[in-house]
């Protein structure tokens, strides 16, 4: 399983989610944590071969964490938790163990 991270900055623009998903397909990553995507709601979207799980950023479209999980890896996804606009984590079941992927936006004081 290939896991990566990406500080996208400015994923708030129209069409940028689709462009980001295309870029991840190119790198063949299974799970990717993104920071600073700046959306004001939480939810799930489908793009390319990924499902995109996102928590809400703050009220002025800053911060925010989210994760792309490749659809063929969705069966391993046990839990998605958004702790704050700067912290989230995924729990994946791989073999007989749980893997926790922590996603933290490191800006200023945490």
Where are the chain's structural domains?
A: 3-104
CA neighbor of 37 nearest in space, from 74, 9, 59, 69? 9
How many Cβ atoms sit within 10 Å of the Cβ of residue 97?
7
CA separation for the pair 2, 95 (Å, rounded): 15
Share of the chain above pLDDT 70, in %: 77
- Confidence at 38, pLDDT banded by 50, 70, 90: low
Q: According to the model, what pLDDT value does residue 12 have?
A: 58
Q: Please indicate whether residue 108 or residue 21 has the higher confidence score (pLDDT).
A: 21
Output the pLDDT for position 71: 92
In this structure, CATH architecture of domain 3-104: 4-Layer Sandwich (3.60)
Per-residue model confidence as pLDDT tens digits over 68-89: 899 999 999 999 998 887 888 9
Q: Taking the model in full, what pTM does it have?
A: 0.78
What gap in Å lies between CA 107 and CA 93, rounded to an integer?
30
* Mean pLDDT (whole number) for 4-19: 68
Q: How far is CA 16 from the centre of its chain?
A: 14
């Amino acid at each position: 399983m290939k896991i990566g991270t990406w500080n996208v900055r400015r994923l708030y623009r129209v069409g940028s989610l689709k462009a980001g998903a295309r870029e991840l397909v190119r790198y063949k990553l299974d799970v990717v944590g993104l920071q600073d995507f700046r959306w004001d709601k939480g939810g799930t979207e489908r793009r390319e071969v990924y499902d995109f799980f996102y928590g809400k950023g703050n009220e002025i479209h800053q911060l925010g964490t989210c994760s792309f999980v490749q659809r063929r890896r969705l069966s391993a996804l046990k839990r998605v938790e958004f702790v704050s606009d700067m912290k989230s984590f995924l729990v994946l079941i791989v073999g007989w163990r749980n893997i926790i992927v922590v996603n933290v936006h490191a800006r200023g004081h945490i």
